[in-house]
Structure 1
Amino acid sequence: MVVCNWRVNPLAWPLAMLSSAMYGLLFAHSKLYGEAGLQLVFITVAGWGWWQWLRGTGAHGEPLRVHALSRAPRWQLAAATLAAWPLLGLLLQHATDSTVPYLDALPTVGSLAGQFLLGRKLVENWPVWVAVNVFSVGLFAIKGLWLTVLLYALFAVMALVGWRAWNRLLRPNV
């Protein structure tokens, strides 16, 4: 899935749906309810992202291409993500039996931001994924999900590769 993403191949989206369904089950079993719920959102957003990559358009009606956000929207997205984190943490703390509600909430809201950016082919999705994956390595270690720790460490490296690949695609468009 990640390789398809960095190659800007729409096959990434159905693969995302499949992997999200499998991880949703694992996270629910591990009482990581933010992460489990996020997988349901990912399945829905993957449908949207798939449509965006196949039929979406840019600001002037042209086919969607890899591009970058301007400075103001970057800060707005960062502020929205940081504001949503404690709110989701509070919800998880009071509505679930999660042992790590705020640690669960941060990669959850970061992943939502990353999915939105990826769906719109914004290069900023990659540093978001690097941060989410690195943080998630620690979270999954706390929960003893050792194979997932290894997978998310690999995802972090792959996100760095994707970031580099999309930056190469971005240069001709600047």
Structure 2
Amino acid sequence: MNILRWLFDAQLTIGGGFILWREVLGNFFGLASALGGMRRKVWAWPIGIIGNLLLFTVFLGAVFGSPNPVNLLGQAGRQVMFIIVSVYGWYQWKAATSRGDAAVSPRWATWKERLILLVALFGGTAVLTPVFRALGSYEPVWSDAWIFVGSLLATWGMARGWVEFWLIWVAVDAVGVPLLFSAGYYASGLMYLFYGCFTLTGFFVWWRTRNRQRRVQVETRFPDPTVEVTEGKRK
């Protein structure tokens, strides 16, 4: 219990400010989860859940008695959402590996799916902004709502194997960095800044993986007859 109490209260003092170690550890687990997701590893999901649990206590500072009294309801709520969607993603990827398949095969979303994502992102932000404001979330509240909705869609897209989910994360990070810095969550703000670069890398990695798998599928379905003739002569 003493170790848990220390983990809950421990701070890293920087100049006149501080950073909670829970915030640092939570973002560390989040980064490890993102790395696992880029490599399409099943362990990315449970590792991410640990980080979500830690960050949930961080972003409800006033509720849990943290030194930072600012509540970011969208940030806290998205940790709960992460856990729920991560359980789904964990099940989906694990089921695929149990069948002998890859955890997920990256694919481009259809135009219909892309339209649904865009409508859900902007529509969900518009709907949740007054809700979060009424609950007393930190201004600008639309940023908190944008991050919440975008995170939900990105996590869902990752579970489905859509290459575009990385771009949704970029949109989330672009709004999240200034919001977190203004609210005093410096560790998370720095991590969001790093995530922005990381998610762009992940996008191109999944894009190349998709192209490589597509080439293999085409070559398997339509083999090169020239290669077959040459091999036949060698035999």
Using the size of structure 2 for normalisation, the TM-score is 0.68
C-alpha displacement of 1:98: 1.6
Task: State the percentage of identical aligned residues.
Answer: 27
Is 1:99 equivalent to 2:131 in the alignment? no
Deviation (angstroms), 1:173: 3.4
**Match for residue 38 of structure 1?**
78
Question: What is the aligned partner in structure 1 of residue 178 from structure 2?
Answer: 138
Q: Which is further off, 97-106 or 119-128?
A: 97-106
Extract unaligned runs of 5+ from structure 1.
Answer: none
Which residue identity is paired with 1:141?
A: F
**1:4 equivalenced with 2:36 (yes/no):** yes
1:17-166 correspondence runs (5 A) = 17-29=49-61, 30-55=70-95, 64-94=104-134, 96-100=135-139, 101-166=141-206
1:78–1:56 CA distance, 2 compared to 1 (3 A): farther
Greater length-normalized contact order (CA 8 Å, ≥ 6 residues apart): 1
Q: In structure 1, how many angstroms separate the alpha carbons of the residues matched to 2:187 and 2:117? A: 31
User: How many residues are matched?
Assistant: 169
- Deviation of 1:47 after TM superposition, in Å, equals 0.7
Structure 2 unaligned spans of 5+: 1-32, 62-69, 215-235
Shift of 1:93: 1.2
Work out whether residues 138 and 144 of structure 2, in 8 Å CA contact, stay in contact via their aligned partners in 1. Answer: no
Q: Paired residue for 2:45?
A: 13
Bigger Rg over Cα: 2
Q: Which runs of 4+ in 1 moved over 3 A?
A: none
Per-residue displacement from partner, 1:8-65 (whole Å, max 9, x unpaired)? 01111001101111111111113101110110111111111111112159xxxx8741
Q: Distance in 2 between matches of 1:15 and 1:38?
A: 16
Q: CA deviation at 1:156?
A: 1.1
CA–CA distance in 2 between the matches of 1:56 and 1:108?
Answer: 28
Equivalent pair of 1:67/1:173 in contact (CA under 8 Å): no
Cα root mean square deviation, aligned: 1.6
